[in-house]
Structure 1
Amino acid sequence: MDTSKPKSRKSRRRLGARQYKNYSNEMLKIAVDLVRKKQISAREAARQFAIPKQTILNKVNKSHTKSVGCPTRLSDDEEAKFIKVLIAAGEFGCPLSKLDLRLVVFEYLKKNGREDVFNGGPPGKAWLDNFLSRHSLDLSVRSTQNIKKNRAEKGVDEFMEYFRNLEETERCCSIKYTQF
C-alpha cells in the first residue's frame, strides 16, 4: 500500500502568462459610465478599478461588442422558438427526448434549406449539451417515471386537445412540420 503524500497539482499557467478577467461586469459598467461622463480618465479608471485601460476604452467606443467564444449555429430567435416548442410538448404530456430534439432541429434546417449548418447531418451530442446548458434556466433533462394504468389511459378527447394545442403552438412559433 502506498503511504506517500498525494502529488500536488502543478499550475498550468506559466509565470508571466496573460492575466484573464478578474473583475465583475458591474465594476466594468461603473468604470465605463464614469469615463463616458468624463468624470475620470480611462487611465485613472483602470488604476482605481483594476481593469485594463483598453477594455474600458473598447466599451466606451462600443467596439468588441460580440460575446466571447464561438457563435452559436442557430440564431437566438430560432433557439427561443425551439424552447417554446419543447416546453409546449412537455406541457401537453409528450416531452421530447434528446434524440427527438436533434431530429426536430435537423428537419427544421432541412425545410429551410440550411442542411449544411451541421455538415449535412443532425446536430451532434456536443451541440445538444451546449444548447441545454445555455438554456438551463428554461429546460431540464428528466428521466421517465412509471405511472399508474388509469393515469396512462387517454381518451379521444385528450388526443384531439393535444393536436389542437400542437397546431396552435406551430402557428405561434411559425415552425412548420409535415405529417409523418
Structure 2
Amino acid sequence: MPKVKYYDKSNIDRAVQDVINKVESYRSAELKYGVPKSTIEFKIKHPDHKNTCGPSPVLNEEEEMILVYWILETARKRFPKKANDLKSSVQNFLNDHPRKNLFNNNRPGDGWVKAFLKRHPEIVERSSESVSAASARVSEKDIRLWFSELETYIKGNDLEDVISDPTRVYNADETGFEVSPSTGKVFAKRGAKNVYTIDRGAAKENITVIFAFSANEEIGVPMIIYPYVRFPEKIAKSANPEWGIGRSRSRKDG
C-alpha cells in the first residue's frame, strides 16, 4: 500500500476557496498552495467528506467532550482514571445508547483509547503518586494556622533562640512504600506538574521510611516503620543497626 500523503489543511481550504471564488484556476491554485489539482477537485465535489483516515469515531464530538471533562475533573480532584475506567465508561454508555460499532461487547480496545488521546491532546497518561485522604484535605488555611500556632507557642515559651540555631532546626519527612503496589498509568491534564491519587483506604501494607535533616546539613538517624502488630524477630535481627525501626499501632497505620 503506498504511503498516504498529507497536505496542510489551511492550504487545502485556501486553495478550495480560491477556485470556488474564481480567484485562481485549478492549476494556479495547485502551484500556489502545493495541493494537487485532484485533491482540490475532490474537496469541491465532496465538501462533507471527513478528513481523517479510518472509521468515524463511535462517539460524537459532544459525547467525547463530556468524557474529556470527566477525565480532567476527576484528575483535578485526585481521583484520576485509568484506560480501563475509560473503556468501561464507554461500554456502559453504549449499552444504554446502542449504536453500530466494531467493539467487542461494546467495549473499546487499546486502539480506540490511543485514537481518543490523539483527538484530545490535552489529556496524557502519567504515573501518579498516592496521598492519604487526610493529606489531600489539608488546605493553605490549615498550613498557615499551624505556623501561627507554632509561632505563638515559641514566643510564649521563650524559645526564639531555638529557631535561630541551625543545629536545632530540622525538617523531617516520610515516604511510604507499598508492599504490593498497584500498577498502571492514569489520565491527567497535559503539563500537570504532579499527578496524585487519593488512597481510598484499601487493605494494603506499607513500609514507612522517615528522614530528618538539620539546617546545618546534619542527617538524623533514619527510621523504618513496619505494618506489624507483633514485630517479627527476623526483621529486628536483619535491620541496619544504625537505623531506627518501629511498628505502627495497627496494620492500617502505614
Partners of 1:19 and 1:93 in 2: how far apart? 41
Partners of 2:98 and 2:107 in 1: how far apart? 14
- Per-residue CA distance 1:62-86 (angstroms, 9 max, x = gap): 5363122121122222111111111
Note the residue ranges of structure 2 that are not aligned, 5 or more in a row: 139-254
Note the residue ranges of structure 1 that are not aligned, 5 or more in a row: 1-12, 155-180
Q: Which residue of 2 aligns with 1:176?
A: none
Percent of residue pairs identical: 26
Secondary structure at the aligned position of 2:13 is classed as helix
Residues 129, 24 of structure 1: alpha-carbon distance in 2 compared, 3 angstrom cutoff: closer
Partners of 1:87 and 1:48 in 2: how far apart? 42
Partners of 1:87 and 1:19 in 2: how far apart? 34
Which one has the bigger strand percentage? 2
AA at the equivalent of 2:111? A
Secondary structure at the aligned position of 1:140 is classed as strand
**Which of 48, 64, 67 is the matching residue for 1:82?**
67
Q: Which residue of 2 aligns with 1:98?
A: 83
The answer on 1:58 being equivalent to 2:51 is no
Residues 90, 48 of structure 1: alpha-carbon distance in 2 compared, 3 angstrom cutoff: closer
Q: Which residue of 1 aligns with 2:28?
A: 44
Partners of 1:97 and 1:19 in 2: how far apart? 33
Mark the structure with the bigger radius of gyration. 2
Q: Which residue of 1 aligns with 2:126?
A: 142
TM-score for the superposition, normalised by structure 1: 0.62
Number of equivalences:
137
- Per-residue CA distance 1:84-132 (angstroms, 9 max, x = gap): 1111212222111111111111111112234965231421122112212
Following superposition, the deviation at residue 153 of structure 1 comes to: 6.5
Mapping of residues 133-172 of structure 1, within 5 Å: 133-137=118-122, 139-147=123-131, 150-152=134-136
Between 128-137 and 58-67, report the one with greater CA deviation.
58-67
TM-score for the superposition, normalised by structure 2: 0.46
